[in-house]
Each structure stands twice: as structure tokens, then as C-alpha cells.
Structure 1
Amino acid sequence: MMDYAIQKLSEEKVFKDPVHRYIHVRDQVIWDLIATREFQRLRRIHQLGTTYLVFHGAEHSRFNHSLGVYEIVRRIIDDSFSGRPQWNDSERLVTLCAALLHDLGHGPFSHAFEKVFDLDHEQFTQRILLGDTDVNAVLSRVSEDFPRKVADVIGKTYPDKLVVSLISSQIDADRMDYLQRDAYFTGVSYGHFDMERILRVMRPSEEQAVIKQSGMHAVEDYIMSRYQMYWQVYFHPVSRSAEVILVKILQRAKVLSEEGYRFKQEPVHFKSFFDKTFDLKDYIALDEYILMTYFETWILEDDEILSDLCDRFVNRRLFQYIDFNPAKEYRKLGELEGLFRKAGIDPEYYLVVDSSSDLPYDFYRPGEEEERLPIHLLMRDGELRELSRESDIVDAISGKRRTDHKLYFPEDMLTEGKKKKMLRQQILSILNT
């Protein structure tokens, strides 16, 4: 019987893809993983969370993205690395599997869900790989320790650091796919860069993939594309408004459940998350279709806050926002909370400060939290040079974190009734000073 690890399909399978044109599958293991229920679940989780409420084309899923990451890694390994002495071809399958499965643990509306229930999608990816799942069954057919190897790549503890760098680094397949894919589906031009050039000049080294000196300008373009995508798409204030409401819906439902409120539509899928008794099966059973069904039905709940928040999310009645620096304007926030209570509006759910920050590129700073492996250029003389030492463009933004703060509130609630209109003038006066 042929070794499962090297078993090929009798005929190559091809997925048509709008970003990479085609995604090629020849390995039986990869084909079997795609067919598992845990991987198919990713079809029901948006890649960009609430961003579809701003960019109407952003309906793509983590299933699309995961296939794209797999394809980029396949091309790197098979086209750029194969046959080179620094690349160990026995690592091919574990790298491909990690690329395909790297987002397996994302919950519905990923980051909002994680925030409310204090979860980590990477930990759940590892739990799915190692638990009683279809994915684990497929991986275990390769070898008994193979699921652990794939989980170690996801957890960044795998001994071959080059393998880890292809999935998680400052220039990895994950970023290269989502920048292009998200740009395509949102319709913006910021996320485009010359990936073909980068893949052609990418080379294996002992600890990470490096870029030939001649490819420096393509990498500059990639970093600037990432910078623009974060501020024009990922941190879009309207998308963040939707996410604020989403978080508050889940928090309100959790509070009501703890208080013994009798829901018309009992949150049976959430009970175990509210009291932290959920298991892996409960986690895998949740997707965005289920959440949206609850949100639709909760519009009819007697609790006015839950009903209103669900109606706002489902029907896109989002909060207004203004620039707000909590470090400098904390006194203002206290005044606003008092006025909101006077108006009969609960500031816990209707007055929210949200902050977003990003570090476009950084070089290695030993001992700092989240040490970052820098991008290295392979010079003509064989020396490795950190990117910002050669690129003036990258040097200009290295280590510079940009942060944006917004204050979100329901402006429409402040226009209802004479009392609220008077309070609205006081509130707007505070907001505008």
C-alpha cells in the first residue's frame, strides 16, 4: 500500500480563484483535509468580519483565504525552494498542511467573538488539530505525531524556523494572500503588489525565507500596500462601528443570561460560552449563520437594549463616531456618561471608545514583547541585510506605531423627544470642544 504522506491524486484537482487564477491540489492528504467538516465550516465565516457592511463585495470567507495561503506556500516550495540545499523537502507536507489549516480555529465574526468570550483562535486551531475531529483523523493517517507537528507550526514552536516563517512572519503567505484577496473583494486598489516578483526572488535560509537584493522594491510595495489596507479597509471607522455593536449584543445577551432573563429565543448555542463550560464540539458547531439567526430573532425580545442593538446590526443602523483621545479627554467621557444616563440611554452599551493601532514594519528588538523577525535581503555577496538598512522608504516607517481612537454613540437616539433634544445640545457641545 502506498505511503499516505506521498500519495497523489490520480488527476490534479483545480479550484478557480479570482486572485491566483488557479489553486492546484495533487496531494491526497490536502484533498482529504479540504473535505473535512471543520475546514468546510470556514465557508460560513467571513474573512473580514463586519467589513461587508462598508464594502458590499467583502463577502468572501476564511475558506477562500485558507486555500489561497495554501497555494502561495505550494508555489514557494515547489517552484522557488525545491532542490535548494537550504530547504528540506521532507518538510513539504507539514508546511502545506499548516498553510491550509492556519485559520481553522476562527470563531464567527472572529475578533469580536474572541473579545467577548476571551478566546484565542490560534489555540483553537491547535485544539482542532489535536482533538477528536475529522481533521485530526486525516492528519493521523500520515503518522501518529503528524497532527502535533502541524500544531507546532501554527504555535510557532516547530523546530524548523524556516517552515514557521512561511506561515507567520512579516512577509508570509498569510499576509500575501489576504492583502490581495481583501483588496479584490472590497474593490480598493491599495492591497495590490507584485507577488510574482517576490516569489521569484524568495530564497530559503536557515531560519526564514529571505529576499534577493534585486527584489527590494517589490517588498517596499508590499509593505506600503499593507499599511494602506490597514488604514483604508481593516480599520475603517464604519466597520468598527458595526463591530462595536456586535460586541455589545453578545455582552448584553451574556448579562441577561446571567441575570436569569427569559429569552423568547433561548441562546442554546451560547449557554456554554456564557458560563465557560463549552467544549471543542460546541466551538466547532458555531458559525456566522447561527449568530445571524439569533440576531434576527432577538429583534423581537422584550429587552429594549438587546432588541435595539440587534436591529441596528441586522439592518445597518450603525453608531455615529468622532475622533476621541481617551488619554487626554477622559473627563469629557465622564460628563458624557452622566448626560446619557439623564437621557435614559445606558452608556455601557451606547457610548463606546474604540482604538485601533498598527505597526507596519519593525526590525528585531530583543527582549521586547512580540519580538518581530525582520525581513532580510540576500545581498549579491551572500550577506544578509535587514530591509530597513537598505530601503529609505521602509526605514521611514520602521518601528512607528500609528493609533486611532474613535468615540461611538447613537446620534439618532439624541433626536427623539424634547428632553433628549436639549440634552443633545449639551452632549454635542461637549463632543465638539
Structure 2
Amino acid sequence: MEYSKRKLSEEKVFKDPVHRYVHVSDQVIWDLIGTKEFQRLRRIRQLGTTYFTFHGAEHSRFNHSLGVYEIVRRIIDDVFEGHPEWNDDERLLSLCAALLHDLGHGPFSHSFEKVFTLDHEEFTQQIIVGNTEVNAVLSKVGPDFPKKVAEVIAKTYENKLVISLISSQLDADRMDYLLRDAYFTGVSYGNFDMERLLRVMRPREDQVVFKYSGMHAVEDYIMSRYQMYWQVYFHPVTRSSEVILTKILHRAKSLHEEFYSFKHHPIHFYSLFEDEMTLEDYLKLDESVILYYFQMWQEEDDPILKDLCTRFMNRNLFKYVEFDPAKQFKVHSQLEKLFASAGIDPNYYLVVDSSSDLPYDFYRPGEEEERLPIYLLMRNGELRELSRESDIVDAISGKRRTDHKLYYPKDFIYDESNQSDVIQQIRSILEGLK
């Protein structure tokens, strides 16, 4: 039997706290899970530094990837099977893309990407088409199969319906991470009726649509996502830990450029610092490696790197005040000068951090990050955009919410042994912002 159609002699199952079980019967999927590139995802947390805020948030990209695969498997095998709009020849491609969609995430994911200007989706595609164990498995399906999987990740594959399963405003990726992140953080915000959504889901030529009778389940999902972003993903304490994380990486890179002599040389970072990162170098990075350096750098002679690493490892985070950069830029400039006068480097200890989210948007052709809207399948067969039928979704459609915080080290500013005039001025300004 050809490899693409080969089944395991006995179905394998992974016990899962969100979906109860993840079912694997395809030899290709089982072999992909066993590759070293996929196993690496066990060492990448799904929620980065969120465990500083919600101590249960220790789950990994490995957990999440299996979850996305399981949702797509259920959609294809239970919902789409036999439907005239669905081509079952796309089944294996969809399952592989779902399983591998996060393969290129680096340690602490988005914070890491911002510092070094990386793109996890580009690395995902490189892993899929490069000299890897994952590529070797996919190539056994067919010589062009890895390229097809990479095209689904890149959103350039010709069948848009396949892309929409893992990349749209209501997809398997989002469904899994909302439910999974809610479970592991212990909050109720991210919960919604996934079973109902699957029951009302229907395939169309370009994307998945939802029966009108399931509109309230879709509304529930949209609101759950909105709440999770502001109550969990953008939590100010989590953002404080991300600020310190990014400043550690910036400081280490700056010291390397200044030919600083590290006690614990960042050999895993050299190619990053010098913009010569290869795929092989990238795959050696995971959170255990990063945390090893942070642990060791607590012993460095550089006071900033030493302090920031000690803060991160021991959760001595920055405090924050509400801040509006547009209206209070003069205040920020004044604080920068005062921090410098007090011997506190504002580049590392005075940070404005902004978070922004657009919970749902309708189609805006030609705009950056163009989003396909969610469509409802009406009883007469017509497709209607969600916000035209839902007053709840209409109220938040196209409305981006942005939040700004100013982060600073409270222990430096409110040190009782330091009552200098400069510190007193800093305290007065910060108190005025509260």
C-alpha cells in the first residue's frame, strides 16, 4: 500500500485534557509526531511568560499542535465526509498542515521574534521543505507534498478551504488555543461551545461557513476570544515579564557588539547576534537553553544583564502605570532624563509597552492583514457576513482596542536609602500618573 494511505495496525490515542483523546490512525501523522523537529515543541511553552501570572500555564506548543490536528481531523472525518464541496484527496494535506502549523516557533515565541526580527511561519516553512526529519517523512508521500504543506502554512495554496481550516477568523488553531489556554490558566473566559460550532460548520469553495442556526455559538466564540486577549494574553504582569525578557536579549546582543567578555559565553546566540542564523542553529534553541543562560548570567559582571536576569529568574518584575504616549510624550522624555541622572539606564528600566487587538473584522480589500469575514449560511442558501446578522458582533466589528503601560523598577525608585532630589522628582511624576 502506498505510504499516503497506510494506516497503523492499531489506532494510537493521546490522552488530552481538552479534547479527551487525540486519535491517530495515519502512518504519516504518527511518523511526523516522532520527528525531532516536532518533539522540540515539547520544550516551547504555548504561552511564553504567562506562567509568571497564571502558574498553570506550563503547556507546550506540542500539546497545542496535537489539539489543532485533532480538531481538523474531526472536521474532515465527521463533518465534511461525503460533502460535495469537500475533496477528500486534501485530507492528508490538511491533517499535516494542522499538525505542523507551529513547527517554527522559537523559545518564548513572539517576544523572541520581536527582538531578532524573526518570523516563525517562515521557519515553519523552512523546516518543512529543508533537510529535516519532517521533510523526509513528507517526501515519502510525494516529491511535491512538502511544498504543498508549506504553501498551506504560507496561505498561498490554491485550495482556500484547506487554508481556512487552520488560518481564518474562526479556525481550528484559534479554537484549540482558546480552550487549551483557558483550561491551563484556570479562567473561564476562553470557553465556548466547540461541539456546537462543529455541528453547524459547512465547507464552501473558499472557506468554512456556519449555519445561521449556530450564530449564537459563533458570537460566544468571538466574545471568548475578546475576553481572553484582555484578561490573559495582554495581562499587565505577563507583559512586565516579557519586557524584562526582551531587555535581557537586547542587553546580551549589545554587550556582544561591544566585545564584552562574558563569563558564560552565549554560543547559542552568536549566529542570532550576527544575523547569520541557520535552520540548524535555530532548531537547537528552546526554552531550556534560554533559561540556562539567564540562570548563568546572574553571575555576570555587567550590572544591567545581571540584574535583569536575576529579576526574570526570581520573578521580581517591573511595576506599571497607565500611560498614553500620544498625550504624555513630554512626561516620558522628562522621566528618561531623570532616570539617566539617577544612574538608572532608561533604555532598560523605563519601557512603554503597547498591546492591541481587533477581535473581529469584516472584509477590507487591499488593507494590511486583510481578513476574510465569517459567513453565515442562511436557510435560503444565501451567505451573509456575520456582523450583518449579529448585533453583538456588529458592535465590536472593525474596532481595534489598544492599551499602553509604562513599566519601571519600583525597588530602584522607592529605595528608602535613596532620598535624592532626582529620585524624589521621579516618584512625584510616577505618582501623578497613577
**TM norm structure 2:** 0.99
Structure 2 CA distance for aligned equivalents of residues 232 and 48 of structure 1: 13
Deviation at 1:430, TM superposition (A): 1.8
Q: How many Å separate the matches in 2 of 1:423 and 1:186? A: 41
Give the 3-state SS of the residue equivalent to 2:402 in structure 1: strand
Letter aligned with residue 33 of structure 1: L
Q: Are the aligned partners of 2:212 and 2:378 in contact in 1 as well (CA < 8 Å)?
A: yes
| Percentage identity across paired residues of the two chains | 74
Q: Once the two structures are superposed, what CA deviation does each residue of 1:204-237 show, in whole Å capped at 9, x if it has no partner? A: 0010000001000000000000000000000000
Residue in 2 that maps onto 1:397: 396
Deviation at residue 320 of structure 1 after TM alignment: 0.4
Give structure 1 regions of 4+ aligned residues with deviation exceeding 6 angstroms: none
Whole-angstrom distance in 1 between the partners of 2:162 and 2:422: 59
Separation (CA, whole Å) in 2 of partners of 1:422 and 1:175: 51
Residue 299 of structure 2 aligns to a residue whose secondary structure is coil
Give how far 1:95 is off: 0.4
Match of residue 285 from structure 1: 284
Which residue identity does 1:360 align to in structure 2?
P
- How much does 1:307 deviate? 0.3
Question: Which residue number in structure 2 is paired with residue 77 of structure 1?
Answer: 76
Partners of 1:233 and 1:46 lie apart in 2 by 15
- The 1-side partners of 2:421 and 2:56 are apart by 40
Structure-2 separation of matches of 1:86 and 1:394: 28
- Counterpart mapping for 1:150-189 below 5 A: 150-189=149-188
* One-letter amino acid of the structure 2 residue matched with residue 285 of structure 1: K
- Say if 1:269 and 1:282, in contact at 8 Å, map to a contact too: yes
Give the distance between the partners of 1:86 and 1:424, measured in 2 at CA.
68
Separation (CA, whole Å) in 1 of partners of 2:316 and 2:167: 37
State the match for 1:366 in structure 2. Answer: 365
Deviations 1:233-259 (A, max 9, x none): 000000000000000000000000111
1:17-45 deviations in Å (ceiling 9; x for gaps): 00000000000000000000000000000
- Is the 1:8–1:26 Cα contact (8 Å) retained in structure 2? yes
How far off its partner does 1:421 sit? 5.2
Which secondary structure state, in structure 2, belongs to the residue aligned with residue 299 of structure 1?
helix
Look up the SS of the partner of 2:223 in the other structure. helix
2:27 aligns with 28
Q: Distance in 1 between matches of 2:330 and 2:277?
A: 40
Distance 1:420 1:152, change over 3 A: farther
Deviations 1:38-74 (A, max 9, x none): 0000000000000000000000000000000000000
Q: In the alignment, does 2:224 pair up with 1:212?
A: no
Q: Does 1:88 find its partner at 2:87?
A: yes
CA distance in 2, matches of 1:215, 1:424: 58
Aligned-partner SS, 1:141:
helix
In 1, Cα distance between equivalents of 2:332 and 2:107: 31
Q: Is the 1:8–1:28 Cα contact (8 Å) retained in structure 2?
A: yes
Deviation at 1:373, TM superposition (A): 0.2
Q: Corresponding residue for 1:146?
A: 145
Q: Deviations over 1:186-214 (max 9, x none)?
A: 00000000000000110000100000010
| Distance in 2 separating the partners of 1:348 and 1:208 | 46
The 2-side partners of 1:144 and 1:241 are apart by: 46
Contact 2:357 2:400 in 1 (8 A): yes
How many residue pairs end up in the alignment? 432
**Distance in 1 (alpha carbons) for counterparts of 2:129 and 2:25:** 24
Name structure 1 gaps, 5 residues minimum. Answer: none
Match of 2:41 in 1: 42
Q: TM-score, normalised by structure 1?
A: 0.99
Q: Decide whether the 8 Å contact of 1:343 with 1:419 is kept in 2.
A: no
Query: Is the 2:414–2:427 Cα contact (8 Å) retained in structure 1?
Result: no
Q: Is the 8 A contact 1:324 1:407 kept in 2?
A: yes
Task: Give distance in 2, aligned partners of 1:421 and 1:372.
Answer: 53
CA distance in 1: counterparts of 2:222 and 2:126, whole angstroms:
32
- Answer yes or no: is the 8 Å Cα contact 1:343–1:420 preserved in 2: no
Question: Is the counterpart of residue 325 in structure 1 residue 324 in structure 2?
Answer: yes
Map of 1:8 onto structure 2: 7
- SS of the aligned residue for 1:389 comes to helix
Structure 2 counterpart of 1:291, one-letter code: I
